[in-house]
A and B are shown apart, each in its own frame.
Chain A
């Protein structure tokens, strides 16, 4: 069959073009597909809902612009949920660019909810040192965090004086794209100091976190853009997560189609031999 022979030599640029169309078209013509809610995402939401007003949540944005498309929508949705519930936010990042991305989201949403810097939220910026830094942070917050991201002493803020050790934190939420990231928080922060950990990871990292979800070391998980879209649905906010799911749906279908076609060609080639 000539068709299969031609397809087996298909120019990769044709595949690239189809992928580009599968991404762009649903952005121009939204399908508004409904998003189902999975248990790991619901657990994050319920955890935030269960915290009393005024509790301090530490958000760690441990990613860079490469993972921004997947993790930034989740960051915004989670911050919005925290502010709605009148929780206090401590923002930091184990990756240099991550703390900047977190800062953008935090300032944007703080303005909407009229939250004050130093009282309702604080940004302590990029913290190098990975695992060792987390161990120190848990033991004595004050020794590790003396100034915020602009160099202002944290003790000069009401919220800065509130957190002295890991035990003053009600929850840690890490938006993680690799190392250092979610695993360090689970191993060095939860195991040692018992602080509940929730996470958001890229889709490719999500399967790695299931052993920790099963063991209870991780309370809940937002996996990739789908996790962000689910969280946006729960907090009733139509953001980039939900908008991106239309494109992701079509691209996934396209990939499944490519896999099927590739295997049909394989079968055909085998029979010919």
Chain B
């Protein structure tokens, strides 16, 4: 029953939503709408599960004194402070906005900005014309990088047009091929889930 019930729910709900997509009748549309609203309720719980999981993993890390456990204390402390600020003063309170603008935003931006340093290091060590395909990729990348900056426009005013052509023609052709592949894969995976062939989402698919 532990296996059959979830499979039945997935099968019935999945195919019902699929069928209602093609039925304009009011009862079909309103029932589909209701199911979608239920899904949003479930989706909201993902946030709670995420927070619970974060706390559980980091408390465990602190208790077992695993590598860099001190950072877990900082993380949990700030999680508590942000939650407290949000609950006490609301999302428009000065404290919450201060913490958001002066801690969360700069820290998040810093994490992403570090990429620039690693990309620079990789460009020197790894981006090399070892094969004809790699050479082609390298030339296209260099052209796009120069064409996407104002200096490129100053060097040759047609540079941005050349880049636009690369993006619009070869890039789009390749992307379309990749997208078709991904979407066909998604369709087959969706059918496998709906028909109960793919059961890994239930935790390994044991019978």
Residues of chain A at the chain B interface (Cβ within 8 Å): 10, 12, 15-16, 18-20, 23, 33-36, 38-39, 64-69, 96-97, 100-101, 104, 125, 127-130, 132-133, 135-136, 139-140, 143-144, 149-150, 203, 206-208, 210-211, 213-214, 223-224, 226, 245-246, 248-249, 251-256, 258-259, 261-263, 266
Contact = CB atoms under 8 A, between A and B. Distances in A.
A10 B129 contact: no
5 contacts: A19-B117, A64-B108, A128-B47, A133-B36, A255-B120
B146 interface: yes
A66 B126 CA distance: 25
Given A258-B123, A258-B124, A251 B116 contact: yes
Contacts of B130: 266
Given A130-B43, A210-B168, A144 B150 contact: no
B193 interface: no
A15 B121 contact: yes
A258 B120 contact: yes
A97 B104 contact: yes
Nearest to B46: A128
A33 B29 contact: no
Interface string B149-165: 11101100100100010
B175 A262 contact: no
Nearest to B129: A263
Given A39-B164, A136-B37, A259 B112 contact: no
Interface of B: 29, 33, 36-37, 39-40, 43-44, 46-47, 90-92, 97, 100-101, 104-109, 111-113, 116-117, 119-121, 123-130, 138, 141-142, 145-146, 148-151, 153-154, 157, 160, 164, 167-168, 171-172, 175-176, 179
B142 A256 contact: yes
Given A12-B121, A96-B47, 12 more contacts: A23-B116, A33-B151, A65-B108, A69-B112, A129-B43, A144-B40, A226-B148, A251-B120, A255-B123, A258-B123, A259-B141, A266-B130
User: Which 8 residue pairs spanning A and B have beta carbons closest together?
Assistant: A65-B108, A33-B150, A66-B112, A258-B124, A129-B40, A249-B149, A129-B43, A136-B36
